[in-house]
């Protein structure tokens, strides 16, 4: 996997030294909070309800075991012994002290981790398919391109003060596991008929107050021209994006007010002006990055593992884990293994330091030293031999990390909500916990099948409620925590925004309402339909009637 070079490391050390001095000046009273706040935010340090929060970037969700161990160490030494993995594949530490922050940034810099561009109106952490480099359905490792974007966008002088934050996601697989259409720019790499790598470029996606799915502005962009084309998009946005109203400043508003054709036309015109050679990645650079992501050597394995098959036959719980959390790998005899951070009753996305250590140990022993963070707030071991899956499972189980619920009703996305976040209207975590406990019976959850519940504590939609088969949004109704349900959203290739079901309801009514939705689905389900398919076929009406008839 990609390792930072000396240049990158020097930059991180310099930045953390700089922050040490800035923080010292704030603590001594030399600079005011108003002067200091933008500086700390530029280093990922927010002040939340109970403490400072440090948001650490995990580029394209790829972690080395040294990095994961360092995160565990920081969480133990400076926080309360856990980290929270987010829908942006970042990790947040919720109990940080300002006086410790410079030391933490130093400790992170040593392993190539940082918090740069995790805040502010700049190009944020680039995300990618969590199965990159492991899945058979990709045409290339998308992280090669995500890394090129990371290098191009890191402290980019022209794009460090955009109208608003800017997020880019990349996939190179047919199945979109990176929610690319919910991004400011979504990039889908494919091979053309003559074998060339080419991006479908989508722009103007985003969630929040005014959700939009990104629209295609160019069907075929030769992959080698990626950076100049991104430059052109960012220039058009930087020039014309609104700066007068924070709610209208994202690129989605620009794309939709100009219309996608006009926006694309302006991008093409700008692109024609750009000196491509100065921006596009030279072949040598691409080769250097590509080499860093060179596929590992995989020992030849039999496609069917007798050990794996025997374990499934012997233990129904393990068989369930194999069905839910183990996915095909591009190399026969290997598997991609999802680690759920959604044990019913736990906080979605939280991992204790001990759990992080366990995952790091397992990755070293069984997954070529690599760990991935999925935007669904789960972790992934990308390269596990099928024959090793039973051993990995046993260790995960000891660490309470073997919940077999990937994509099921208990695999809930939830933002930190009012328990931590200063912007929240309502809590999200306890709602997720209550639903997960209600559906904790794994057999029942599996019988219900694929069902994504996504919860946000406010309209900013960090919990992706617009993209939930069931979306739950916390609202403030006359000063009380209320929740608005919406149905039919999805993030993948069939991306669609969820539609509001009806009036908001209290937190206590949510588990019953979910129960009613599930029963309605089961009553209407036709062969092989997921919850989402049924909702799309029947529309909202039967669900609305069921939920609000009970509520009345």
Q: Which residues bind ligand SF4 (CB under 6 A)?
A: 415-417, 421, 423-424, 456-458, 460-463
Among positions 11, 39, 41, 47, the unique one binding other proteins when judged by CB under 8 A: 47
Assess contact for 233 and 488: CB atoms under 8 A: no
- Which is closer to other proteins, CB of 37 or CB of 499? 37
How far apart CA 511 and CA 219 sit, in angstroms, is 43
Cα–chain center distance at 271: 30
**Where would I find the H helices in 274-352?**
276-279, 283-292, 306-314, 316-325
Assess contact for 147 and 5: CB atoms under 8 A: no
Do β-strands 505-506 and 334-339 pair in parallel, antiparallel, or remain unpaired? unpaired
Decide: is 97 part of the binding site for other proteins (CB under 8 A).
Answer: yes
- For the bound state, the minimum distance from the C-beta of residue 423 to ligand SF4, rounded and expressed in Å, comes to 4
- Which is closer to other proteins, CB of 268 or CB of 476? 476
- Which is closer to ligand SF4, CB of 148 or CB of 504? 504
User: Which residue matches tokens 């660490």?
Assistant: 399
Quick one: three-class SS letters along 157-213?
A: CCCCCCCCCECEEEECECCCCCCHHHCCEEEEEEECCCCCEEEEEEECCECCCCCEC
- For the bound state, the minimum distance from the C-beta of residue 457 to ligand SF4, rounded and expressed in Å, comes to 3
Decide: is 240 part of the binding site for other proteins (CB under 8 A).
Answer: no
- For the bound state, the minimum distance from the C-beta of residue 247 to other proteins, rounded and expressed in Å, comes to 18
Of other proteins, ligand SF4, none, which one sits near residue 136, judging by CB under 5 to 8 A according to partner kind? none
Which residue in 440, 334, 455, 467 sits closest to 388, CA to CA?
334
List of residues 6+ apart from 363 with CB closer than 8 A: 65, 68, 369, 370, 371, 381
- For the bound state, the minimum distance from the C-beta of residue 515 to ligand SF4, rounded and expressed in Å, comes to 24
Query: Which residues in 414-440 are b (16+ Cβ under 10 Å) and which e?
Result: bbbbbbbbeebbbbbbbbbbbbbebbb
Assess contact for 351 and 362: CB atoms under 8 A: no
Return the bridge partners of 55, or none: 92
- For the bound state, the minimum distance from the C-beta of residue 411 to other proteins, rounded and expressed in Å, comes to 17
- Which is closer to ligand SF4, CB of 218 or CB of 464? 464
By CB under 8 A, the residues from 57 to 96 that bind other proteins are 80, 95-96
Among positions 158, 285, 480, 545, the unique one binding other proteins when judged by CB under 8 A: 480
- For the bound state, the minimum distance from the C-beta of residue 206 to ligand SF4, rounded and expressed in Å, comes to 13
Decide: is 481 part of the binding site for other proteins (CB under 8 A).
Answer: yes
Q: Let me know how long the chain is.
A: 552
List of residues 6+ apart from 532 with CB closer than 8 A: 450, 451, 452, 469, 488, 490, 494
Q: Which stretch binds other proteins (CB under 8 A): 123-131, 254-262, 380-388, 422-430?
A: 422-430
Decide: is 430 part of the binding site for other proteins (CB under 8 A).
Answer: yes
How far apart CA 312 and CA 409 sit, in angstroms, is 23
By CB under 8 A, the residues from 457 to 476 that bind other proteins are 476
Of other proteins, ligand SF4, none, which one sits near residue 77, judging by CB under 5 to 8 A according to partner kind? none
Of ligand SF4, other proteins, none, which one sits near residue 224, judging by CB under 5 to 8 A according to partner kind? none
- For the bound state, the minimum distance from the C-beta of residue 37 to ligand SF4, rounded and expressed in Å, comes to 17
Q: Which stretch binds other proteins (CB under 8 A): 22-30, 275-283, 397-405, 442-450?
A: 22-30
Q: Which stretch binds other proteins (CB under 8 A): 50-58, 376-384, 491-499, 514-522?
A: 50-58
- For the bound state, the minimum distance from the C-beta of residue 40 to ligand SF4, rounded and expressed in Å, comes to 18
Among positions 11, 39, 51, 434, the unique one binding other proteins when judged by CB under 8 A: 51
Residue 512 burial (CB < 10 Å; 0-12/13-18/19+)?
A: middle
- How many residues sit close enough to other proteins to count as binding (CB under 8 A)? 36
Assess contact for 214 and 181: CB atoms under 8 A: yes
How far apart CA 78 and CA 107 sit, in angstroms, is 11
- Which is closer to other proteins, CB of 476 or CB of 529? 476
Decide: is 520 part of the binding site for other proteins (CB under 8 A).
Answer: no
Question: 3-state SS of the chain: helix, strand, coil percent to 5?
Answer: 45, 20, 35
Return the bridge partners of 56, or none: 91
Of ligand SF4, other proteins, none, which one sits near residue 50, judging by CB under 5 to 8 A according to partner kind? other proteins
Cα–chain center distance at 109: 22
Among positions 420, 439, 531, 543, the unique one binding other proteins when judged by CB under 8 A: 420
By CB under 8 A, the residues from 366 to 405 that bind other proteins are none
How far apart CA 128 and CA 170 sit, in angstroms, is 5
Rule CB under 8 A: which residues touch other proteins?
A: 26-29, 32-33, 47-52, 80, 95-99, 347, 418-420, 424-427, 429-430, 433, 476, 478-481, 506, 508
């Amino acid at each position: 996997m990609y390792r930072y070079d000396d240049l990158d490391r020097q930059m991180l050390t310099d930045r953390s030294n700089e922050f040490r001095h800035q923080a010292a000046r704030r603590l001594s009273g030399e600079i005011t909070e108003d002067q200091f706040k933008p500086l700390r935010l530029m280093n990922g340090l927010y002040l939340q309800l109970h403490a400072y929060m440090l948001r650490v970037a995990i580029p394209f969700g790829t972690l080395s075991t040294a990095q994961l161990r360092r995160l565990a160490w920081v969480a133990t030494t400076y926080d309360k012994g856990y980290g929270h993995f987010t829908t942006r594949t970042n990790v947040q530490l919720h109990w940080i002290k300002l006086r410790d922050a410079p030391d933490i940034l130093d400790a992170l810099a040593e392993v190539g981790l940082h918090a740069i561009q995790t805040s502010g109106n700049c190009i944020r952490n680039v995300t990618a398919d969590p199965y990159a480099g492991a899945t058979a359905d990709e045409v290339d490792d998308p992280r090669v391109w995500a890394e090129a974007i990371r290098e191009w966008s890191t402290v980019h002088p022209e794009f460090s003060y955009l109208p608003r934050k800017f997020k880019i996601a990349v996939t190179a697989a047919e199945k979109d596991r990176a929610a690319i259409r919910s991004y400011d720019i979504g990039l889908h790499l494919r091979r053309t008929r003559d074998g060339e790598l080419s991006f479908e470029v989508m722009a103007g996606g985003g969630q929040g107050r005014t959700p939009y799915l990104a629209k295609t502005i160019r069907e075929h962009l030769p992959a080698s021209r990626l950076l100049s084309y991104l430059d052109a998009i960012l220039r058009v946005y930087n020039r014309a994006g609104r700066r007068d109203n924070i709610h209208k400043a994202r690129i989605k508003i620009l794309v939709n007010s100009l219309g996608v054709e006009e926006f694309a036309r302006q991008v093409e015109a700008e692109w024609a002006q750009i000196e491509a050679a100065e921006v596009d990645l030279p072949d040598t650079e691409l080769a250097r990055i590509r080499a860093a992501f060179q596929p590992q050597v995989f020992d030849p394995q039999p496609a069917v593992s007798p050990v794996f098959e025997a374990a499934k036959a012997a233990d129904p719980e393990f068989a369930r884990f194999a069905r839910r959390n183990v996915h095909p790998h591009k190399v026969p005899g290997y598997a991609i293994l999802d680690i759920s951070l959604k044990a019913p009753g736990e906080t979605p996305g939280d991992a204790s330091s001990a759990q992080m250590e366990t995952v790091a140990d397992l990755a070293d022993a069984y997954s070529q030293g690599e760990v991935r963070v999925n935007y669904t707030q789960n972790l992934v071991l990308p390269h596990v031999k099928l024959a090793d899956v039973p051993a990995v499972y046993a260790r995960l189980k000891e660490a309470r990390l073997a919940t077999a619920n990937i994509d099921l009703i208990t695999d809930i996305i939830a933002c930190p909500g009012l328990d931590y976040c200063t912007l929240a209207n309502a809590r999200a975590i306890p709602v997720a916990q209550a639903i997960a406990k209600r559906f904790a019976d794994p057999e029942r959850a599996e019988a219900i099948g694929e069902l994504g519940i996504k919860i946000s504590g406010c309209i900013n939609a960090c919990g992706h409620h617009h993209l939930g088969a069931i979306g739950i949004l916390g609202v403030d109704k006359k000063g009380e925590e209320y929740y608005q349900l919406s149905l039919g959203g999805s993030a993948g290739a069939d991306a669609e925004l969820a539609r509001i079901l009806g009036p908001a309801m209290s937190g206590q009514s949510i588990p019953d309402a979910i129960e009613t939705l599930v029963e309605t689905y089961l009553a209407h389900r036709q062969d092989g339909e997921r919850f989402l398919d049924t909702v799309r076929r029947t529309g909202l009406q039967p669900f609305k009637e069921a939920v609000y008839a009970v509520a009345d």
